[in-house]
Chains A and B, each alone.
Chain A
Amino acid sequence: MPTVTRRQTLAMGAGAFVAAVLAGRVPVQAQTDTLTIAFNVNLPSFDPTVGTSAVNPTIQAIYRSIFDQYVGQKPDLSFEPGLLTDWGWNDDRTQVWMDVREGVTWHDGTPFTPADVVWSLERAAKPETGNPIQFVWSKIGNFQVDGNRITADVLSFEPTLFKWMAFLTGYVLPKDYYERVGAEGFEAAPIGTGPYMVDAYEGNSFLRLKANADYWGGKPAFETVIFKFVTDATSRVAEIESGSSDITLEVPYEEYDRLVAKDGLDGVATPISDIGMIFIRNTEPMLDENVRLAAHHAIDKQAIVDRLLRGYGVPISTLEAPEYDAFDPSIEVAHDPEKAAELLAQSGYGPDNPVRFTIQTTRGFKPKDYEMIQAIVGMWRRIGIEAEIEVYEIAKHFELRAGHALAPAAFYNWGNAIGDPTTSTGFAMFGPSPHSSWKTDDVDAMIGPLWGEADEEKRIQGWKDVSRYVAEKGYVIPVLQYVQPIVFKDTLNVTPNVSGALEPTLVERAS
């Protein structure tokens, strides 16, 4: 019998180990029917209607892959039929009606019915479920089902009700399945009616989806979609550059320019429904209109976009981006340092006697956020504003904002994927909103009647008037609309989504 020495055993063991590693390092297979996305955020929860993830616009890309919304939304933010094929109000706005799509099945094969829609809306309206948009869903009730038509009473008129049906928490969940498996069971094995079904999930690592062959909107382009949760931007760059992922987003603009110049890679960078703005709080020295307006006129937004963001950004003067319903191009707060200096002089301030306040900003939360504020502080200094920069974490920002305790100026970003002015100017400027920083009666008096305005044309014009008034008074400093960089293999075509949600259904193979 041949003997094996200890040294030989060790050598064989080492050889086997190396062979296993080498076998393992080779990608399983370059599958053309698989789309791998290096995604920038983790998925904390599968329930799209509760918790912090429900209000994260980026994560909607995943939710919209698994679930369907009541109302669909096109990449340009316009609306289209979703699980509701038609919807509307009665003449006196006391009732809503919704026609439910027929022939749809849940991922477990059971039929989707109007009862699912009613249950989802009723659940969303209950405060105890913790739906952050409950204030919208609670405005209808007393549902009646007749065939595939649902009617409900309007408990309080909400003009944006149907728009919210295409946005945060506006998802239909499976009544029978959810009631059978409970919240924990649903988290473990979620089902929807969406184009993709959950196949495998590893928190902080990846989500694997497989195509829903029976999808009512047609079979998806890819058999498998893998979301890799790569929260570090450097690692996302490496993922796409090494070919490990097919597509990624939110990489630094410098890297975007470098990557799209490489063979085999392509990219799109388009404005999305996310803006950078400086909140102004109604406290000294911001109670002085001259100071507020001087601070706004002193900022050269185009220079910031060009020099810090490599041209990737759109300067804005109001909280309404060009894609939003209440955008008014005639409202412009121009870069005018001379005027800014004059305004300050009227209040007795100047370079020799500067007005002083603190400006808060995040650092690294949004592209070049800190650098932008540094540049703005430099522009201010030239005209007689000495601002001290205070860096805070995003959690601190939320805490201060909810407690109406932000610094006199505070930089933050603000999304509005339904494009309605209530979600941008409305919640950012209305005093009673926990998210506003400028709280004064004059603005509230203008905004108040608009919440329930039934005449859509009048409502939108009303919001434009609010935007003009806010700009004239300098109650907020909108800086820019962000541009979202997406890099992908040149074997793909990607339709950019103004909402910023990188949905797999917007990706297809290049012909």
Chain B
Amino acid sequence: MSLAAVLRRLATAAVTLFGVAVVVFVLLRVAPGDPIAMMIGPGASEADIAALRARYGLDQGLVTQFFIWLQGLIAGDLGTSISLRSDVLGLLGQRLPATLELAGAALVVALLVGGTIAILGTLARRSPGEAVVDGANGLLLAVPDFIWALAFVLVFAVFIPVFPLTGRMDPTIDMDFATRFFLLESLVRAEFAVFGNIVSHMTMPVLALALPLAAIVARVLKGALIEAMGQDYVLLARLKGKSELRLVLQEALRNALPATLALTGVQFTFLVGGTVIIERIFAYPGIGNMAIDAVINRDLPLIQGIVLAFGAMFIAINLAVDLAVAALNPRLRHG
């Protein structure tokens, strides 16, 4: 993909984000639930309620509110959270890394598990083993992430307590992190005990998020691999005496990857969306968990900020996938 094409995509992304901002702003204002009604005291008078409304800028007209918010947005100010009483941008900066680490780890696991299943299925094609692999994959695909989460809670936290259930790491750990990317930072700083503790806390939520995506990766990749295995260049390699495993890994996989990556990119956005409920179940302190509280409290500035952050993430993911697909596919790379 050329630089001009990338710039075009970025410009489109900016327009899309603006559209998201407008839609979210309007939807939140017409949706039921008034944040002020949730915080008025028992003896509040009409004047008290009006003062509270003015304090949060909700006494202005819808258009005025929007332009005030837009002005702030352009200046990098997403406003102040009504419930958390903190700068929204700062809150996103605190929570987003946790969600990115969770989603990123889930993506890696999904690719590894899905890739393994696809390769096993390809190797076992036209044998009874293929049905077993396909059946297992069908199971992964049929069960949604939150059901996996509840099953893991039951099995790995209650019956066989192998993994810690909630949080991002043990609350007794004392470590001054320079960043909010605790997993990466503990690894880089060779704090392996902390790293291991974080990984063990992430294991169940990561698996719950990863398994449904792994099944999709497996299905698409297996189809692409089987198609590639019938191509002439693979036949030629087979005639040279390469084993089936080497044929899959060294010959077919590269050509099967672009289609899989493109679909994985789309599906990854669903995975990121799934972090909302998964973070809640595992009391994981990412923006998904914060989003639910924001919605319950009708914290309009925070909801707007979170939706924008999700929107930006989705756009970035799709752009990254397009770049990766272009890098893997010479025909796209050279226009």
Q: Which residues of A contact B (CB under 8 A)?
A: 16-17, 19-25, 27-29, 31, 34, 36, 38, 42, 44-45, 47, 50-53, 55, 127-128, 130-136, 183-184, 187, 200, 202-206, 208, 224, 226, 228-232, 234-235, 238-239, 241-244, 392-396, 398-399, 401-403, 423, 426-427, 432-435
A401 to B200, CA, bound (A): 46
Q: Which chain B residues lie closer than 8 Å to A403 at the CB level?
A: 37
Please, which residue of chain B has its CB at the minimum distance from the CB of A132? B41
Is B128 close to A, CB under 8 A?
Answer: no
B104: min CB distance to chain A, Å: 16
Contact B196 A25 (CB under 8 A): yes
Given contacts A234-B153, A235-B153, contact A23 B161 (CB under 8 A): no
Please give, as numbers and ranges, the residues of chain B lying within 8 Å of A203 by CB-CB distance: 84, 94-95, 285, 290
B33 touches A228 (CB 8 A): no
Binding site for A on B (CB under 8 A): 32-45, 48-49, 51-52, 55, 82-86, 94-95, 150, 153-154, 157-158, 161-168, 170-174, 192-201, 203, 279-286, 289-290, 292-293, 296-298
In the complex the two chains form, what is the Cα distance from A58 to B95 in whole Å? 24
| Dominant secondary structure at the B interface | loop
CB-contact partner of A23 in B44, B82, B196, B284, under 8 A: B196
Enumerate chain A residues within 8 angstroms of B195, measured Cβ to Cβ: 20, 24
Contact A24 B281 (CB under 8 A): no
Q: Cβ of B83 and Cβ of A130 under 8 Å apart?
A: no
Residues A393 and B165 in contact, CB atoms below 8 Å apart:
no
Q: Which of A20, A50, A426 contacts B193 (CB 8 A)?
A: A20
What's the Cα separation between A242 and B44 when bound, in Å? 45
Tell me if B172 and A47 are in contact (CB < 8 A): no
**Given A243-B161, A399-B37, A187 and B172 touching (CB < 8 A)?**
no
For residue B153, which residues in chain A have a CB less than 8 angstroms away from its CB?
Answer: 234-235, 238
Q: A23-B192, A238-B153 are in contact. Are A398 and B162 (CB under 8 A)?
A: no
Q: Which residues of B contact A31 (CB under 8 A)?
A: 172
CA distance A423 to B43 in the complex (A): 9
5 A-B contact pairs sorted by A residue (CB < 8 Å): A127-B51, A203-B285, A392-B32, A396-B33, A434-B44
Please state if A23 and B193 are interface contacts (CB–CB under 8 Å): yes
Cβ–Cβ contact A135 & B33, under 8 A: no
Inter-subunit contact B45/A135 (CB<8 Å): yes
The distance from the CB of A70 to the nearest CB of chain B, in whole angstroms, is: 17
B40 touches A402 (CB 8 A): yes
A401 vs B44: C-alpha distance when bound (angstroms): 13
A206 touches B167 (CB 8 A): yes
Given contacts A28-B170, A44-B85, A135-B48, 4 further A-B contacts (CB under 8 A): A44-B83, A208-B172, A235-B281, A434-B44
Bound-state CA distance A398–B203 (Å) is: 39
Q: What is the bound-complex CA distance between A320 and B186, given in angstroms?
A: 55
Q: How far is the CA of A29 from the CA of B284 in the complex (A)?
A: 21
Closest Cβ–Cβ distance, residue B51 to chain A (whole Å): 6
B41, B44, B195 — most chain A CB neighbours (10 Å): B41
Question: Which residues of chain A are near B38, meaning CB under 8 Å?
Answer: 52, 394-395, 398
What residues on B are CB-neighbors of A401 within 8 Å? 37
Q: Which of A133, A208, A231, A426 contacts B283 (CB 8 A)?
A: A231
Q: Which residues of A contact B174 (CB under 8 A)?
A: 200
